[in-house]
Structure 1
């Protein structure tokens, strides 16, 4: 320890200042590449221990039996808080109604975040098994129950190896991914304050078990929804000239909307417009007064997305007018906020490749094509450097897994150790390998935690 007295005071202050500047480098150089790889493998070995696997399976099944919709995840949140308390991990609650934010590590910068979504879907489960949903009309049909279990498993690993954490891991348990808006509300609540990077994952029925897939740049599309009411004049089906038929008008609208992609879009600029709802009429011999249509539109850039939104409204209104009908268009922003494009940070992609290759072997780390699916993790990617990847659970020797949002969707629980270990490794090695941007005490966890 330096002793600063008399004329040495200025020199000592200078040395202390230089030490603080070098501290991140000194800390981050504590492990070489071989030791970092060994740490990653050790995390996977820890995650595969029978006790932890059974613990994660139990958590996942308990959540699966009691699915809750967006911003209603009170019991799920309670279970998460109980598990964090059992591990001695401090947390904040409530955040964005039902969200939970835990903290593992020093409580000081740098901060890196891991995210899991918690909500279920409004669907009746069609799979008959011991842990089938106990709530009629609700089920976990997209794997969010497993996402929570894997992040809690990662929390266990991180807490047991917290001596390796040269900073703080923020555990984000997010509500309302399916209905949209959950991530945005978490951000508005301040969960990303001082956070330098965030990682998220999603289970995949098309990627093999023990394999991960992702890519740098855009990976999931921006997404919006629309509803239009096309109004005419009802009448007898035998006397159509005395009516103004909204069904014919709506049919022309549907066909014209398809031209927005096939005739107006650059073939190299991927877009989708799908009309998935068409409601009108209640009798075979009556022309209704109005027809309601609805659907989704998607694109991979803000410019393309905005242009598509504008043209959807123009086409619906104009085509309805051609058939002497009127039309109103609603983009349902209150119910379904637009999801931005999910864009993976290129530097974090290199970090992901390094960590995943050390853990699984480079042959089990695959590139993936961008998908027109969407994710409200996109709001995190807009706010800070972020990375999203897919975790495989397909097993060729077992029954084919149904894709997400199917009433017959199931989880291959063998993937849980991989997800937990990857979460823990990505965060730990980020703190070890990346220089913290600030040593300010303002990044400390609040005393109330």
Structure 2
């Protein structure tokens, strides 16, 4: 960006702060978006993001084990001269870019990988057996570092401070909840988060106002009977039969008890019991997930799941215990509900970046995201970034061992992250005065 262009934009931003108007704010936001996208597309910036993403992909780490990933993040922030706080929630990092003054806005990326073996054969395949970045978090980290670079090199344009939230343990570990409990959102006005989306073409984004992703929970139940010989079942109490009745009854919770217009899911995906053809076991273990788009529906499902399991087991002369903390997972991830006001901001900024035809509204998705823990505290907005390579056929879904990211999407994600934060700070400055706000304790 040339010196005179930089001075012109700074003067434009100052004029907005002195005499705010929606037209001035919109015009300045468009200029910022254009500058940021051009910066992200520079070959040296693009190659740098690709290198970071590939290094993380080769060395995947599970939730709360992201020590090397966190070390890489901190090393890059050090190179950029960006201050940060570490550790937060074991491996989390929060960087700070801008004036160091309020208002504060946050951008988040998750860092953890999944317990699965990568099946994609390429130069930068995972080097860790049984671990893989199959959900794109390696790309999320690279894009947030890209946004950090853009914002740091244009920090004189920021009308406040951007928090860079590098979060551990999104995949069932409740990392966002622990980040919130550590106080990272103190005095923060809003937070933005993205997720790569392989079914959407690169150069497009999608989201919606209101409920976007479902709240989710897990359950595990042990159904106890009395084991014995399969040839004389009258001398036993069969927990397999009891578990089978339980599973059928659980499916009625959605089909017979839920409002058809209130989407819900109950899935039993685990069934363990018995080890021989002619032996009735003493016990059976079942487990699964349940999901809903409101906390009320979710809690009703939770209550009914426990009632159905315990009472159906009793009908079959068994007893059952139900655990909603199965496999060490958080018992409840709230629904991801996008703030209405932030939806308008997202649409405006994304349209400036991609063109309005490439900003899509989409139906709610039954997947879940712990970004919702941030949204319970402050206004938050979560969106999907298209990463589909139109030349390579149907892409593999996230959580597939064949999942791949189209790295051409990295500049778009970095520029959009940076533009959403910088543009929102600009909007906040047009609505209120800095003197009415507190300093962020971490600064």
TM-based fold match above 0.5: yes
User: CA 1:90/1:129 → structure 2, altered by over 3 Å: closer, same or farther?
Assistant: same
**Could you give the per-residue CA deviations for residues 392-413 of structure 1, whole angstroms, max 9, x where no partner exists?**
0112221322111111111111
1:147 has 2:143 as partner: no
Aligned to 1:352: 346
Gaps of 5+ in 2: 1-13
Matching of residue 94 in structure 1 with residue 87 in structure 2: yes
* Secondary structure of the structure 1 residue equivalent to 2:123: coil
Residues 280 and 446 of structure 1: is their aligned pair in 2 closer, same or farther, counting only changes over 3 Å? closer
**Deviation of the 1:39 alpha carbon:** 2.0
The aligned runs of 1:329-340 (5 Å cut-off) are 329-332=322-325, 334-340=328-334
Show the counterpart of 1:409.
Answer: 403
Which of the pair has more CA radius of gyration?
1
What is the aligned residue count?
426
Give the corresponding residue for 1:225: 218
Q: Secondary structure of 2:257's match? A: coil
Q: Indicate the residue corresponding to 1:292 in structure 2.
A: 285
1:112 aligns with 2:108: no
- 1:304 aligned onto 2:297: yes
Q: What secondary structure sits across from 1:94 in the alignment? A: strand
Question: Aligned ranges for residues 307-322 of structure 1 at < 5 Å?
Answer: 307-322=300-315
Deviation at 1:300, TM superposition (A): 0.8
- 2:182 pairs, out of 177, 189, 202, with 189
The 8 Å contact of residues 219 and 323 in structure 2, kept in 1 or not, is answered as yes
**Relative to structure 1, is the Cα distance of residues 67 and 188 closer, same or farther in structure 2, using a 3 angstrom cutoff?**
same
How far residue 38 of structure 1 moved from its aligned partner, in angstroms, is 2.4
Residue 443 of structure 1 aligns to a residue whose secondary structure is: coil
- 1:31 Cα deviation after fit: 4.5
CA distance in 1, matches of 2:56, 2:294: 36
| Equivalent of 1:431 in 405, 425, 429 | 425
TM-score, normalising length: structure 2: 0.93
CA deviation profile, 1:265-321 (whole Å, cap 9, x unmatched):
110011100000001000111111110000000011111111100000000011111
Q: How does 1:56-95 map to 2 (within 5 A)?
A: 56-95=49-88
- Give how far 1:335 is off: 2.9
Deviates further, 194-203 or 332-341:
332-341
Indicate whether 1:282 and 2:275 are aligned: yes
CA distance in 2, matches of 1:39, 1:393: 23
Q: Is the 8 A contact 1:70 1:177 kept in 2?
A: yes
Query: Within 2, Cα distance between the matches of 1:159 and 1:46?
Result: 12
- Determine if contact 1:345/1:386 at 8 Å carries over to the other structure: yes
Backbone CA RMSD of aligned residues: 1.7
TM-score by length of 1: 0.92
Secondary structure in 2 matching 1:277: strand
Q: Alpha-carbon deviation of 1:439?
A: 2.5
SS of 2:376 mapped into structure 1: helix
> Any gaps of 5 or more consecutive residues in structure 1?
1-21
1-side partners of 2:141 and 2:280: how far apart?
50
Deviation at 1:336, TM superposition (A): 2.4
Deviates more, 1:32-41 or 1:381-390: 32-41
Taking the TM superposition and a 5 Å limit, the aligned residue runs for 1:197-276 are 197-276=190-269
Answer whether contact 2:60 2:128 (CA < 8 A) is retained: yes
Question: What residue number does 1:18 align with?
Answer: none
**CA–CA distance in 2 between the matches of 1:133 and 1:84?**
24
Instruction: State the alpha-carbon separation in 2 of the partners of residues 370 and 441 from structure 1.
Output: 35
